[in-house]
Amino acid sequence: MRLYSYFRSSAAFRVRIALNLKKLDYETAAIHLRRNDQGKPDYRGVNPQGLVPALEDGGQTLIQSLAIIEYLDEIHPEPPLLPTDPLGRARVRALADIVACDIHPINNLRVLRYLTHQLGHEEAAIGNWYNHWIASGFAALEPLLVRDARTGAFCHGDSPGLADVTLVPQVVNAERHQLDLAPYPTLTRIYENCMRLDAFTAAHPSRQPDYEA
Amino acid sequence: MRLYSYFRSSAAFRVRIALNLKKLDYETAAIHLRRNDQGKPDYRGVNPQGLVPALEDGGQTLIQSLAIIEYLDEIHPEPPLLPTDPLGRARVRALADIVACDIHPINNLRVLRYLTHQLGHEEAAIGNWYNHWIASGFAALEPLLVRDARTGAFCHGDSPGLADVTLVPQVVNAERHQLDLAPYPTLTRIYENCMRLDAFTAAHPSRQPDYEA
């Protein structure tokens, strides 16, 4: 398998974690987002959306991180990233979607660039924007985690799954942007539990072949 | 089942279509987003994220439209909203996520309000923003649909599924905002095919009990 990735992309980070949890080997094809590799014709041929990640597997190209991870979970079921009961699956997918739909896309590089170039905002306003959407999502996640008996060492029970795979890259982004995590103790505890596992730490931006300080 | 909905919410619109395709009865609990019903303590008790939709089913509350729809598809499998093969499922989920992650959340009411109130933008700039993100997503969807033999009368084959359920509300929003749809003939053809089905038209904002002109 070949993963089109960028060290800093949190959507690619999710897929790296999932591949590691499944113990699947892959090679990294680095797409440098800050240099706009994602807009070049070669990469548009891989993914017309011009975003990372994309995953090549047996001649097929898959896009969209959550769709890729559900695919990996279907063809390589062990260890499972979703519970078996429909209500549990809905809960885990919803926790993942709070990050993947309602935080991350609003803070994506292309959106921040629009705020800078088309709308003329300075770094301070963009920093406020960035942390506002993370805080808004985390303020929903914290009660959903702390008030639900299905929360364990991880978001759902005592093994890592899809919700943890999406949560961890978002917390890494929050830390990089110095968001105060004190209001989210449950979320932070789960993050710390994840970061004790090699599958998560090996997927960290700083451990990628295309990492730049 | 009770659906917490707002006639104009395209995430609620998705769930309404799915419920209709499955021929499931439900009652509508209207949450008036423009009047900020979603931020009141009563509704925060239903959904701490303060967004619609939420679905109550047998004493359980589910949130996040895609997670709700996957749940409905698991417990009421007919007619199926996802294909059976993992590659097909990944394709349909990716098409759905292009709308549900990369268009819709960036244009959500709370984001437009932030642009207005915190960042001080006028209606014209917000209109440009809105259509920019739809056009960006549709420009990816069109080649993914037209170049893939799995596209049929609908996004994937000849029966409506999850990708159509997310596409249609986004096209309705695009039309309302007068986005030129001429560059997207395949997407438009599929939209028109969907709108020949009662399940889609009955879910339209103008047909909801809380509709306001």
pLDDT value at residue A104: 98
Mean of pLDDT values over B158-183: 98
Distance from CA of B101 to the nearest CA of A (A): 4
* B105 chain-A contacts, CB cut-off 8 A: 101-102, 105-106
Q: For residue B107, give the chain A residue with the closest CA.
A: A106
Contacts of B41 (CB under 8 A, 6+ apart): none
Architecture (CATH level 2) of domain B2-79: 3-Layer(aba) Sandwich (3.40)
Mean of pLDDT values over A99-120: 97
First to last CA, chain B: 27
Fold that domain A86-199 belongs to in CATH: Glutathione S-transferase Yfyf (Class Pi); Chain A, domain 2 (1.20.1050)
Residue with tokens 């979970």: A73
pTM over 0.90: yes
pLDDT value at residue A194: 99
Beta sheet of A60-63, edge-to-edge order: A27-30, A2-5, A54-57, A60-63
Share of chain B above pLDDT 70, in %: 100
pLDDT digits (tens, 9 = 90+) for B59-112: 999 999 999 999 999 999 999 999 999 999 999 999 999 999 999 999 999 999
Domain B86-200 coded CATH 1.20.1050.10: yes
pLDDT digits (tens, 9 = 90+) for A30-85: 999 989 999 999 999 999 999 999 999 989 999 999 999 999 999 999 999 999 99
* B51 chain-A contacts, CB cut-off 8 A: 102
- Domain layout of chain A by residue ranges: 2-79, 86-199
Query: B121, A119: Cβ pair inside 8 Å?
Result: yes
pLDDT digits (tens, 9 = 90+) for B122-144: 999 999 999 999 999 999 999 99
- CA dihedral of B161, A92, B106, B73, whole degrees rounded to 10: 10
Residue-wise DSSP of A74-88:
HHS-SS-SS-SSHHH
Q: For residue A87, give the chain B residue with the closest CA.
A: B71
B93 interface with A at CB cutoff 8 Å: yes
